[in-house]
Amino acid sequence: MAASRLWGVPASLALLLLLLLLLPADAVYEDQVGKFDWRQQYVGKLKFASLEASQGSKKLIVATEKNVMAAFNSRTGDILWRHVDKGTPEGVVDTMLIHGQDAITVSNGGRILRSWETNIGGLNWEISMDTGSFQMASLVGLQDSIKYVAVLKKGALSLHYLSNGHQKWVEQLPDSETVQYQLVYSHGTGVVYVLGVSPQSHVSVLAFSVEDGEIAKQSRVEAPWIRSLSQSCTAMGEAVLACADVATASFYTLSLDSSEEMKQVLLESLGLQFMEPFQARLWSSQPNPASVSRAQFLVQLSPTHFALLQHRNGVLSLLRDFPQAGLVTFATTNEKTVAAVLTCKAEAEFLSCHNRSYVTNLYLAETGQRLLDTTISFTLEKSSPRPEQLYIQVFLKKDDSVGYRALVQTADHMLLFFQQPGKVLWSREESLAEVVNLQMVDLPLTGAQAELEGEFGKKADGLLGMVLKRLSSQLILLQAWTAHLWKMFYDARKPRSLIKNEINIDNLARDEFNLQKMIVVVTASGKLFGIESSSGTILWKQYLQDVKPGSSFKLMVQRTTAHFPHPPQCTLLVKDKETGQSSLYVFNPIFGRWSQVAPPVLKRPILQSLLLPIMDQDYAKVLLLIDDEYKVTVFPATRNVLRQLEEMAPSVSFYLADVEQGKLSGRQLRKDLTTEESWEITIPTDVQRIVTVKGKRANEHVHSQGRVMGDRSVLYKSLNPNLLAVATESTDSHHERTFIGIYLIDSVTGRITHSSVQRKAKGPVHIVHSENWVVYQYWNTKARRNEFTVLELYEGTEQYNATAFSSLDRPFLPQVLQQSYIFPSAISAMEVTITERGITSRHLLIGLPSGAILSLPKALLDPRRPEIPTEQTREENLIPYSPDVQIHAERFINYNQTISRMRGIYTAPSGLESTCLVVAYGLDLYQTRVYPSKQFDVLKDDYDYVLISSVLFGLVFATMITKRLAQVKLLNRAWR
């Protein structure tokens, strides 16, 4: 009894606990925080923004298209606070209103009403409202105070208290099935106006009493020309509705308090003209909802033509015409309302402002007069797109003149905050909230390293030339070493806080262990970034002008920095979502410059692209592009490349996946550079659909060909580099009939190596494919939990061919071992670590919805874990089987640096075998290093160099003394 139990615990459980304790754990010390990692937080493209109207204001309140509410520090651009809602339509912010220190938001299509405290980002209150199509929300004032917020939906109007969100009243709107109610307006008179339209028929006006919600007035005005109130109409002044109609080239005005017909004012009488078929837009300014809004309003006549109009005493007049404006907006401070207008500096067309120089001026809204000394001039980079949004922060200076700052958002989602006369206070690259693809590229050699590469010269230089080149390179190395020593001595005399390691694009160089790399990032807006990996500094950026939203991107590294003096080369393949049209962009990933090598023009949509292991004379890998007619485009297409392709054509195979039709097919390259189909597999789309096709990484190295068993035999791995892992999901959503299918298919022959089905399971499916194993995660609908399933493939105890692998010569199917485990959390992303030689143990990096990244040893997901340990399994260090995989906080590699809405994890090897570089991306960017098998090839930071050196010197000194004493002793013995 005593032998089978240890302190009352079963021996198997005790052994499991002991082995779990012996597993390496990832943790970080307090002094290591931020030393090897960094995080950058973003909010996404702005949807609404509010800038406080005071000179000493320190915050900007924003709501974004990423369903984020946040506040920026107006001095630095840093995020003061941020709230990330659901990434689904349930979290969409429909509108945002600002009242004092509170921000009122409506979300989820008008179902959720919230109030935020803007100083600290706290939630004041939140209420749920009845379902309905949200139209508009507005603050409602009464007796010079703002107490309510009105929410207009398709069929009802509700009034809520600003203090607690409680509903004061809700009223159904008459004729809501035929009338589209779209506008709500109040100006402190105790009445809330609701305006609706019956297209090409009439306008309905309802006046509700603020106190009890009773309809005080209801009228109907004929308007056969009208189609919609949104954007083309605005309410202003003493309850006046102004609308623009492009078809009749007229303005129409209507007093909401009277039942008169709409008055028509022709544009010609104002000296204006619409641009057809452009949809005109109108907007007014109401600084205080408890008082009458301004009688002035702005109208957009064409994409670059605006006008400032005024409606006073029933007369419509033109105050100012802006024929070459790009963006306009209203702002108010201390009863002064101004219109800000952004134009091209050269007075050219705004849409074709080639010099990218822009000017913002202020105009007094009441008169249209331009205010002096209110110009902000700025110039964007040549590759930058034009500005898209303009927000201004107006304040009164000590001399009662108007000053302001401007927040500009460009089409590539970059935010720029300016102050007069054009100084950039800060900028933010919000397109990095939508990273779709990235690669890590080694940095180039230093000048000294480059000299060392060519130190011995060429035979053609002759003996004397080679000697001189050797001497000159050694002299350059000596100078570099001397400069390094001087810098160390100079920095040692400074306090550590004053030592600045500034990183710029000119002093980039590869470090000793290749830990510092260039992160090349592609975003959904079509912008490329070069980010230095050790600090997160953006070194270069390029914007692709012709990329449409929703395009897919594939980034490939054709030539690395290993081929000095040839520059590195990256190729970006862009495919339009709607037309399928594809295009190639070639650039230098270190400096961000477009390459002089002209890529081929792609006339057909590209179905597949692959990098071949052959190179041209400049060491650039050959890129093969297959279009929808199965024709091949080669880049670069030199004679040498084409000759090599003809020789190795029979060995070039690739696969195509048609998710919509459920087809997987393989094709083979012919010598004439045409293709022929070699296999095809059809998965019935009425039963299941393809969700993921995952191959192995091309740069993955496998160090061990097999596993040593407890009896000293070897279980050889089945290492098929052509293996594809295909995951499918049932089209039937009923929880009793759902299933997940996994197919392991050889992409050369189409042979199904293994297939399995997880019944009563559904996605999302996350899959990792590496070496001889596949791990995938899914949701078990029967047990209502997340599960892992691991597949490992082995050839057996005898290896079929130890020298070379061929998919065409595989007579035996591999042995497949399978096991499942329970995981206590959902998963956002999953990737496996990768190292230089593949010696280090593999870890799974699992991104959790909480924003944490879990480093899970692959040993915990071993299908050979025994239920009952034996002598042989203990010899192999196999952990006894337990169905649960626990989440331990010490395994989080990002401690408290959470990543919101994580979408992917990228791993890259470094020059140290123990170290793997990791980049996680989602709404945020995070970079760090992981050590799956600890740092076995690096001395620790607290290594005692002084003690070891003292001991070594002491031993050497003792050896010398002992040697001398031994010589004296031998001499004395010889004299006896």
Query: Which three-class secondary structure string do you get for 493-545?
Result: CCCHHHCCCCCCCCCCCCCCCCCCEEEEEEECCCEEEEEECCCCCEEEEEECC
CA distances from 760 to 346, 734, 791, 929 (A): 66, 9, 19, 38
* The pLDDT of residue 452: 60
Question: Cβ(698)–Cβ(611) under 8 Å?
Answer: yes
* The pLDDT of residue 506: 66
pTM of the predicted model as reported, rounded to 2 decimal places: 0.88
- Strand, coil or helix: what is 31? helix
Could you check whether the bond before residue 589 is cis, i.e. omega within 30 degrees of 0?
no
Could you check whether the bond before residue 385 is cis, i.e. omega within 30 degrees of 0?
no
| Ramachandran assignment for 718, one of left (phi > 0), alpha (psi -120 to 50 degrees), beta (any other) | beta
* The pLDDT of residue 504: 67
d(CA 889, CA 894): 10
Residue stretches of the chain with pLDDT short of 50? 1-25, 457
Sign of CA dihedral 603, 609, 612, 617: positive
Q: Which of 376, 387, 302, 377 is nearest to 353 (CA)?
A: 387
- Structure tokens of 845? 């990096």
- Structure tokens of 352? 């074709």
Using one digit for the tens of pLDDT, what is the confidence trace for 723-745?
A: 999 999 999 888 888 999 999 99
**Positions of E strands within 295-422:** 296-302, 305-312, 315-322, 325-333, 336-344, 357-364, 376-379, 387-396, 402-410, 414-419
d(CA 782, CA 181): 46
Could you check whether the bond before residue 764 is cis, i.e. omega within 30 degrees of 0?
yes
**DSSP strand pairing (263-266 vs 250-255):** antiparallel
Compute the chain's Rg from CA coordinates.
35
One-letter amino acid at 489 equals F
Q: What is the DSSP string of 439-489?
A: EEEEPPPPHHHHHHHTTT--GGGHHHHHHHHHHHHHHHHHHHHHHHHHHHH
Using one digit for the tens of pLDDT, what is the confidence trace for 443-472?
A: 987 666 665 655 554 555 677 777 777 787
Residues paired with 103 in a beta bridge = 98, 116
Residues paired with 829 in a beta bridge = 847
- Structure tokens of 165? 């969100």
* The pLDDT of residue 23: 46
